[in-house]
Amino acid sequence: MTKRSIKLVAGLVLGGVSMTLLGGDITGKVTLKGTPPKEKKLPLDPFCSKANKNAGSATTRFYVTDDNGGLAEVFVSLREVKGEFTAPSEPAVLDQVGCEYTPYILAAQTGQKIVVKNSDPVLHNVHPTPRVKGNSEYNKAQLPKGKDLDFTYNKAEKFLRFKCDVHPWMFAYVSLVDHPYFDVSGTDGSYTIKNVPPGEYVIEAIHRKAHAPKYVGLSQKITVTTDGGTADFVVDLTK
Amino acid sequence: MTETPSYNPRIHWFALVTCVATLGLIGVGGVVTSTGVGMAVPDWPNTYGYNMFFFPFSQWVGGILWEHSHRLFASGVGLLTLILCLWTFGRPARGALRWVLVPLSGGGALVSWKTGRFQDAAFLGGVCLVALAVSFVWPRCRPSRPLLKIMGVVALVGVIGQGILGGLRVTLFADQIGIIHAAIAQLFFVLLCGFTLVSSRWWSRLGQQSRPEKVSRVIGWGMGVLTLMVLFQLVLGASMRHQHAGLAVTEFPLVAYGKLWPATDEASIDKLNRERVDHREFEPITKNQILLHMAHRMMALSLFLAAGIWTWVCVRKEPKGHLVGSLMIVWFSMMCVQALLGAATVWSNKAADIATLHVVLGALTLALGALSSMIALRLAQTIPAGVSTSVSSYPDLASVAERPSAGVV
């Protein structure tokens, strides 16, 4: 390797590191306006009722809000980000607890390993059903407290469904994007997208139910500086 | 030396048992689809790595209970169909048992043993031994009529094909195969019902000349056309069920906002999908699914009108209490109940028990239509003098007819 190419590589690495270090965090909150439809009770069977701490009150999780209207489980990401990004080495984790997937909405980068655990004393099958060509469908058995299952998807897809057919109320959705700038809103509706390089972006918030089935969410332009940026969203069900 | 075809009441009753088992199988299959647990057992032909007959009962939980039961039930129907098919060939079928089934199962057992699949080896070894033992004592009867033999072979091929299709639906993740699987199940049931009818003594007697029940051929063909309409309706229903999208139209008889026809524009469908809340988290509804649902309703209405008119024609044309008229009244009544069950399926948001009952009654409606058409056409046959398809056409049968229990196993 010549001195010149060593300098070039070093420059690129330093540049990359400094960009990351200089990047700001985008923060914001997603709130819900309007009254969501009433959630449905989950028809847990006797085995799952024993395993589920909230067996009597377990419901679907279409709209999870807090007292202030904060809307949880909204997938927030930057749109059309240019560049090549290596998938993180740490996996995104889905767990099966009390015959429910935890979390219900997960986000991961394309190429990142998705690990599915079974913390239940009952058998499950893990059945991802992608809709984007190039992402494969699988159906794998997982014994009670059995070995973790790994899945990796290389194509971006919004809300790739994971289901258990043994327990037909068990669902989780994984959104996959080809860059690291995304988050899922927490229980109070807040989110943080970390280390975004300064610049002009379009940020989008998508709720799985409110923006179904095409998953075209709410979007806005945002300017990110080294101090970061802010973008709030209101998912309006009254329209 | 060729053997004379023989009437065997035991085959007829055994066919009836196979029919009932098949209807049960369709019912269990209906529960599997209605509860959305068709993929609860990810592997095939094994069940969670076990040979399906060795899968521990303690693991029959949740959706596995229904899917695994469906597979075992199907194996039972497969066995019944194999016996039925072999039986129609009479004593010569022993050769097939000894020289086809025994080597196949024995060879399979050996291969399984060598590859360490001991459960498969035990199962196939058991089949081999049972087939060998049975081949020394059964069947003892003479061959059935060629038509019954053909029907038996077609049924056997059908049930094997159905098993493979069911397996491929699971392993290839193909809903389309599920639709074909469901449609063939209905045809298989009709075939077995037809076998049961044709193997009965009553069927032979029905072809006798100078019968007071003789009917116009048009009546029979009309019933045949109605039966085809029922079949088409069942295929539409199977297509709806196997898309796993739930109810595309959730109200009946009117649709959303008191309209007669649902909106299919993009905005309305998006709204519909956003507002659907169900623990089964169905796939989003599409325009085509709404149109398919409405086609099913329109077809039901057409069938109701056509069958009503044809019942009226049959009752008017034939004397009071005539067999064909009575069959048509029963068939039409069945269609009315089926229509009500269809409505109940919508009103109950596709409750699994009601939806399954709708499937089972659909199968019975198709079968009754097919049998009624066969009977009507049989009664319409003009039989030249001196020729008869009745019991007396078989030299040995005339004497058998006098002794109802004379059929030989």
pLDDT tens figures, B316-349: 988 888 899 999 999 999 999 999 999 999 999 9
8 A C-beta contact, residue B33 and residue B242: yes
Question: Can you give the pLDDT at residue A13?
Answer: 54
Interface test with chain B among A166, A237, A239, by most B beta carbons within 10 Å: A166
CB-CB neighbors (< 8 A) of B63 in chain A:
165-168
Percent of chain B with pLDDT over 70: 90
Q: Residue A168: which of B35, B43, B277 has the nearest Cβ?
A: B35
Q: Is B40 on the interface with A (CB under 8 A)?
A: yes
Is residue B363 a part of any domain in this protein?
Answer: yes
Residue B21 has pLDDT above 60, yes or no: yes
B126 interfaces chain A, CB cutoff of 8 Å: no
Report residue B115 as tokens. 């590859």
| Mean pLDDT of the region B293-321 | 94
Is the CB of B271 inside 8 Å of chain A's CB atoms? no
Calculate the average pLDDT of chain A.
Answer: 92
At residue B365, the pLDDT reads 98
Whether B390 has a pLDDT exceeding 50, the answer reads no
Looking at per-residue confidence, does B5 or B146 come out higher?
B146
Cβ contact A168–B280 (<8 Å) = yes
| Token pair for B191 | 């075939």
Backbone conformation region of residue B90, classed left if phi is above 0, alpha if psi is from -120 to 50, else beta: left
DSSP element (H, E) containing A219 = strand A218-224
Q: Residue B315 is which amino acid?
A: V
Mean residue pLDDT of chain B comes to: 90
Residues B357 and B243 in one domain: yes
Chain B, nearest residue to A172 by Cα: B281
pLDDT reported for residue B404: 41
Looking at the structure of chain B, the number of domains it has is 2
**CB contact (8 A) between residue B64 and residue A212:** no
* Contact assessment for residue B12 and residue B199, using Cβ atoms and an 8 Å cutoff: yes
Return the residue in A100, A139, A142, A215 with the most chain B beta carbons within 10 A, the one to mutate for interface testing: A139
Type of residue at B193: C
pLDDT-based confidence at B391, cuts 50/70/90? Answer: very low
Q: Which of B199, B221, B247 is the last residue of a domain?
A: B199
**Cα–Cα nearest to B144, from B48, B242, B8:** B8
pLDDT at A10: 60
Lowest-pLDDT choice from A58-72, B276-290, B292-306: B276-290
User: What average pLDDT does the segment B55-80 reach?
Assistant: 96
pLDDT exceeds cutoff 70 at B2: no
Please state, in angstroms and rounded to a whole number, the distance separating the CA atoms of residues A137 and A145.
Answer: 23
Q: Domain for residue B132, yes or no? A: no
Q: Are residues B53 and B166 in the same domain?
A: yes
- Taking contacts as CB-CB distances below 8 angstroms, the residues of chain B near A139 are 39, 42, 170, 173
Query: Which of the residue ranges A90-94, B72-76, B227-231, B402-406 would you say has the lowest mean pLDDT?
Result: B402-406
Report the pLDDT value the prediction gives residue B395, as an integer from 0 to 100. 38
Measured in whole angstroms, the distance separating CA A83 from the mean position of its chain's CA atoms is 21
Is A45 in contact with B280 (Cβ distance < 8 A)? no
Closest approach of A196 to chain B, Cα-based (Å): 32
pLDDT at res. B311 = 97
Which chain A residues are closer than 8 Å to B275 by Cβ? 37
pLDDT tens, residue by residue, A155-189: 999 999 999 999 999 999 999 999 999 999 999 99
The alpha carbon of residue A102 is apart from the nearest alpha carbon of chain B, in Å, by 16
Q: What is the ipTM of this complex?
A: 0.84
Nearest one of B128, B142, B131, B122 to B83, comparing CA atoms? B131
Q: If you average pLDDT over residues B63-80, what whole number do you get?
A: 98
pLDDT tens, position by position, B371-384: 999 999 998 885 54
A166/B42 CB distance under 8 A: no
Query: In the predicted model, what is the mean pLDDT of residues B134-152?
Result: 95
Q: Between chains, do B284 and A213 touch, taking CB under 8 Å as contact? A: yes
In this structure, are B194 and B300 located in the same domain?
no
Contact A175, A159 (CB under 8 A): yes
Q: Say what percent of chain B tops pLDDT 90.
A: 79
A140 and B40 within 8 Å at the Cβ level: the answer is no
Task: Provide the pLDDT confidence category of residue B212 given band limits of 50, 70 and 90.
Answer: low
Any A CB within 8 A of B265 CB? no
Question: Which of A62, A167, A210 lies at the smallest CB-CB distance from B62?
Answer: A167
Domain that holds residue B323: 210-393
pTM for the structure as a whole: 0.89
Rounded Cα–Cα distance for residues B21 and B74 (Å): 9
Residue B399 lies in a domain: no
**End position of a domain, from candidates B130, B164, B199:** B199
User: Is any Cβ of chain A less than 8 angstroms from the Cβ of B281?
Assistant: yes
The stretches in chain A having pLDDT less than 70 are 1-22
CB < 8 Å to B61, chain A: 45, 47, 122-123, 166
Same domain, B219 and B280: yes
Structural domain A42-63+80-185, CATH architecture: Sandwich (2.60)
B35, B46, B61: which to substitute to probe chain A, counting the most A Cβ within 10 Å? B61
Report CB contact under 8 Å: B173, A212.
no
Residues B189 and B220 both lie in one domain: no
| Domain range annotation of chain A | 42-63+80-185
User: What mean pLDDT is predicted for residues B232-243?
Assistant: 95
Strand order in the sheet with A157-164: A105-109, A170-177, A157-164, A124-129, A140-142
Contact: B62, A42; criterion CB under 8 Å: no
In a domain, B281, yes or no: yes
What is residue A209's DSSP assignment?
Answer: T
Query: Dihedral, CA atoms, A96, A103, A175, A220, nearest 10 degrees?
Result: 170
Cβ–Cβ below 8 Å for B279 and A213: no
Higher pLDDT, B389 or B117: B117
Is the same domain home to B165 and B218?
Answer: no
Among the listed residues B363, B256, B246, B236, the one whose alpha carbon sits nearest the alpha carbon of residue B299: B236
Judge whether residue B170 has pLDDT over 90.
Answer: yes
Instruction: Kindly tell me if the per-residue pLDDT of B296 is higher than 70.
Output: yes
- Chain A hits for B287, CB-CB cut-off 8 Å, are none
What pLDDT shows up at residue B320? 82
- Assigned domain for B346 exists: yes
